[in-house]
Chains A and B, each alone.
Chain A
């Protein structure tokens, strides 16, 4: 190595300062330049280089400092990913709560992330990680928003859906295990603005939401220590949901024999979930912020758990050869074990004074949908009006 230079230097050390380089000669004894003279210099330089390399390496390894990915929402979304949703992706600000998960906790992982553009909160987007369950009683609102017919199933075996302002996707079973009887899956959901309008969802924005929710789930799964990456789902997605025009009065929601009588025509055509998915939802007569009626079949047994308590406790008891359920003034819900597992049938009205409609539609809806799923014959017997459970 540079042994000759070193040895020369060493040889010089005991000599008087006369041979010191010009400029250092008259320095005070404790001046830094005087202290850094001689063989200590290369050592210090090497030490510094080593420290820098080490620190750099550590930073690179742990993705800290200058190597930190320029991602928001737990590092899952790059600025490019935001471009589909925000007009000025580089100005989007994020407020994040990290995804926390304790092995001992029964609540599942949870965290949230809120993105806002500089031009106001109207386009704020909120991403959440949470486990669906009905203990907190928030599943009804969640189902209203995220199981709406506006959302397209993501397909490809994914338990998730997307519209132009809502999307959700479950963390894969292979990561956190399969939810229990009264639980739902842990999902990542994203929401932007009002959840419903009577406009048909826009396909381009829907695709953006679908991509975003997949990226979030991939990152959250990775952080939970799980392997595997979900591919971009957009290629296989159909166009966003369109109103089903030409609903026949004797085949409401496209289900033969389901009728409320010839004379009543809804103002608007129904919106029906497009394609096979975790749910088939038919939202009828969407005016303003809500459909007047929702007829929904929850086909994925992993989602059924969030309706089980409802099926056990809602309204008056409904009986059938298999399964259980209840009928209240605005809501009929029935759960049975079908080929895929637990399956839930829901008929819901958001109008007042519509209990006769719910009562008329509910048993026929359950029967028809059970038949479609190869889960029939299933003929729920309704309690007499006003009867107890």
Chain B
């Protein structure tokens, strides 16, 4: 850019001889003058054009295996106030796992109170098969991406999204050799620190949940291409986002129901619940403390076939307990149950709490909504619930 500007002024200066009639210029000079003004015009025109159309011909930085271009939309790719660095490992055919991370930093002295302010934000994409162990997998997928603040990806893509990240399950062609599905995850995080005492969460701006879905799918397409398992047609997002998660709703008394399910109560004060999705394919609900952001209960139902495939080999061979339909297991921090419902396998997940009664009430209520038989043994007739 600087080169262009000096070039133009240099040529413009040369014939500048004020007061001299133009007609009297020798032929060579006049030719040069014409050439110079033509060049200036052309350059100015192109410059104006590129500025107007925002298509500056110099290459822009690309991130995440070439998936994202600088200045292409969301704030974290275009905000010039923050310094931006990228670090990435692309998946390959031999080693189909990778990650990329964009770090944004800023440090300045607050004009308001003179405190030193530092902003540290990251956007992370990870590509790879889901973890082998059941606990690690549930911690990653359920705790990370199936909370009550998540909604389904648009266009029926198997996965979830919100304004701070998302998860996409890749097609079967990208499955690991042992059959574990490969997933791509996107996550924005960050902190804002002022002085020595004040710190708050300040995640990088992904530009809203729909933009997050677009970023996630772009990264997935480039990751799949690098790993050599891309489908013929790249994945795409065309629809708008029809739903966003419901608001966090206070649970007024300890005995009140949570997640809109009669008989499901935690007996805790000062909680709030949040319902993300409640369709035939996906249901998410979380209960947490209303002041500290501490989760008390995470519940999810997954019936979308490709998303449910993530839990295929960890639902066990035996029923959760006596009298339960299907299979499942109660782990240390997570519980899983899987049973046939309305003609397809449905997975019920519970996190944070491992009280089997909570899972039973949840699974049975969802089964009723989907129009199938109870999953857990129901309370005997006459029992007060």
Would you call B359 an interface residue if the criterion is a C-beta within 8 Å of the partner chain's C-beta atoms?
no
- Residues of B near A226 (CB, < 8 A) are 240
Tell me the complex Cα distance, A321–B265, Å: 13
* Binding stretch for chain B, among A88-96, A122-130, A242-250, A338-346: A338-346
Interface string of A168-194 (1 = CB under 8 A from B): 000011110110110000000000000
Contact B27 A7, beta carbon cutoff 8 Å: yes
Tell me the complex Cα distance, A73–B261, Å: 44
Residues of B126-174 whose CB lies within 8 A of A: 152, 154
Would you call B38 an interface residue if the criterion is a C-beta within 8 Å of the partner chain's C-beta atoms?
yes
Would you call B46 an interface residue if the criterion is a C-beta within 8 Å of the partner chain's C-beta atoms?
no
- Residues of A near B217 (CB, < 8 A) are none
Tell me the complex Cα distance, A180–B246, Å: 9
Tell me the complex Cα distance, A13–B21, Å: 14
What's the nearest-Cβ distance from chain A to residue B75, in Å? Answer: 15
Q: A172-B242, A228-B240, A339-B365 are in contact. Are A3 and B34 (CB under 8 A)?
A: yes
Q: A10-B23, A337-B257, A339-B283 are in contact. Are A373 and B369 (CB under 8 A)?
A: yes
Tell me the complex Cα distance, A371–B365, Å: 9
Tell me the complex Cα distance, A200–B30, Å: 83
Our count of residue pairs bridging A and B at CB distance below 8 angstroms stands at 108
Residues of A220-271 whose CB lies within 8 A of B: 221, 226-231
What's the nearest-Cβ distance from chain A to residue B302, in Å? Answer: 15
Tell me the complex Cα distance, A336–B249, Å: 13
Contact B257 A1, beta carbon cutoff 8 Å: no
Q: A3-B31, A340-B275 are in contact. Are A229 and B261 (CB under 8 A)?
A: no
Would you call A376 an interface residue if the criterion is a C-beta within 8 Å of the partner chain's C-beta atoms?
yes
Residues of B6-60 whose CB lies within 8 A of A: 23, 27, 30-31, 34, 38
Contact A340 B260, beta carbon cutoff 8 Å: yes
Contact B259 A339, beta carbon cutoff 8 Å: yes
Contact B262 A378, beta carbon cutoff 8 Å: yes
Would you call B102 an interface residue if the criterion is a C-beta within 8 Å of the partner chain's C-beta atoms?
no
Residues of A360-389 whose CB lies within 8 A of B: 371-378
Would you call A76 an interface residue if the criterion is a C-beta within 8 Å of the partner chain's C-beta atoms?
no
Tell me the complex Cα distance, A3–B335, Å: 85
Interface size on A (CB < 8 Å)? 42
If over half of A's interface residues share one DSSP class (helix, strand or loop), that class is named, otherwise mixed; here it is loop
What's the nearest-Cβ distance from chain A to residue B77, in Å? Answer: 16
Contact B262 A339, beta carbon cutoff 8 Å: no
Would you call B67 an interface residue if the criterion is a C-beta within 8 Å of the partner chain's C-beta atoms?
no
- Residues of A near B280 (CB, < 8 A) are 276
Contact A177 B239, beta carbon cutoff 8 Å: no
B273, closest chain A residue (CB): A337
Cβ-neighbour of A157 out of B23, B247, B279, B385 (below 8 A): B279
B365, closest chain A residue (CB): A374
B370, closest chain A residue (CB): A374
Interface string of B234-268 (1 = CB under 8 A from A): 00011111111111010000001101111000000
- Residues of B near A172 (CB, < 8 A) are 240-242
Contact A322 B365, beta carbon cutoff 8 Å: no
A174, A226, A231: most-surrounded residue (chain B CB, <10 A): A174
- Residues of B near A228 (CB, < 8 A) are 154, 210, 237-241
What's the nearest-Cβ distance from chain B to residue A186, in Å? Answer: 13
- Residues of A near B367 (CB, < 8 A) are 374
- Residues of A near B240 (CB, < 8 A) are 172, 174-175, 221, 226-230
Contact A377 B154, beta carbon cutoff 8 Å: no
Tell me the complex Cα distance, A371–B262, Å: 10
Would you call B208 an interface residue if the criterion is a C-beta within 8 Å of the partner chain's C-beta atoms?
yes
Contact B237 A341, beta carbon cutoff 8 Å: no
Tell me the complex Cα distance, A174–B214, Å: 13
Contact A229 B239, beta carbon cutoff 8 Å: yes
Contact B243 A157, beta carbon cutoff 8 Å: yes
Chain B interface bracket (under 10, 10 to 19, 20 to 34, 35 or more): 35 or more
Interface string of A149-166 (1 = CB under 8 A from B): 000000001110000000
Contact B262 A1, beta carbon cutoff 8 Å: no
Tell me the complex Cα distance, A10–B31, Å: 13
- Residues of B near A175 (CB, < 8 A) are 240
A299, closest chain B residue (CB): B278
- Residues of B near A231 (CB, < 8 A) are 238-239
Residues of B222-240 whose CB lies within 8 A of A: 237-240
- Residues of B near A173 (CB, < 8 A) are 241-244
Contact B260 A377, beta carbon cutoff 8 Å: no
Would you call A301 an interface residue if the criterion is a C-beta within 8 Å of the partner chain's C-beta atoms?
yes
Tell me the complex Cα distance, A375–B369, Å: 8
What's the nearest-Cβ distance from chain A to residue B9, in Å? Answer: 23
Q: A159-B242, A227-B210 are in contact. Are A374 and B34 (CB under 8 A)?
A: no
What's the nearest-Cβ distance from chain B to residue A174, in Å? Answer: 3
What's the nearest-Cβ distance from chain A to residue B251, in Å? Answer: 10
What's the nearest-Cβ distance from chain B to residue A380, in Å? Answer: 13
B208, closest chain A residue (CB): A174
- Residues of A near B385 (CB, < 8 A) are 377
Would you call B188 an interface residue if the criterion is a C-beta within 8 Å of the partner chain's C-beta atoms?
no
Tell me the complex Cα distance, A340–B244, Å: 12
- Residues of B near A178 (CB, < 8 A) are 243-247
Contact A376 B262, beta carbon cutoff 8 Å: yes
What's the nearest-Cβ distance from chain A to residue B378, in Å? Answer: 12
Tell me the complex Cα distance, A173–B277, Å: 13
Q: A374-B261, A375-B262 are in contact. Are A341 and B241 (CB under 8 A)?
A: no
Would you call B366 an interface residue if the criterion is a C-beta within 8 Å of the partner chain's C-beta atoms?
yes
Contact A341 B260, beta carbon cutoff 8 Å: yes
- Residues of B near A13 (CB, < 8 A) are 23
What's the nearest-Cβ distance from chain A to residue B278, in Å? Answer: 4
Contact B257 A174, beta carbon cutoff 8 Å: no
Contact A230 B239, beta carbon cutoff 8 Å: yes
Tell me the complex Cα distance, A173–B246, Å: 10
Would you call B209 an interface residue if the criterion is a C-beta within 8 Å of the partner chain's C-beta atoms?
yes
- Residues of B near A340 (CB, < 8 A) are 260, 275, 278
Q: A339-B260, A339-B278, A341-B260 are in contact. Are A374 and B242 (CB under 8 A)?
A: no
Name the 6 nearest CB pairs between A and B, nearest first. A174-B241, A228-B240, A374-B369, A340-B278, A374-B368, A172-B240
* A/B interface sample: 19 pairs, CB < 8 A: A1-B34, A3-B34, A157-B279, A159-B242, A172-B240, A173-B242, A175-B240, A228-B154, A228-B210, A230-B240, A321-B262, A322-B262, A338-B260, A339-B261, A339-B369, A340-B260, A374-B368, A375-B261, A375-B365
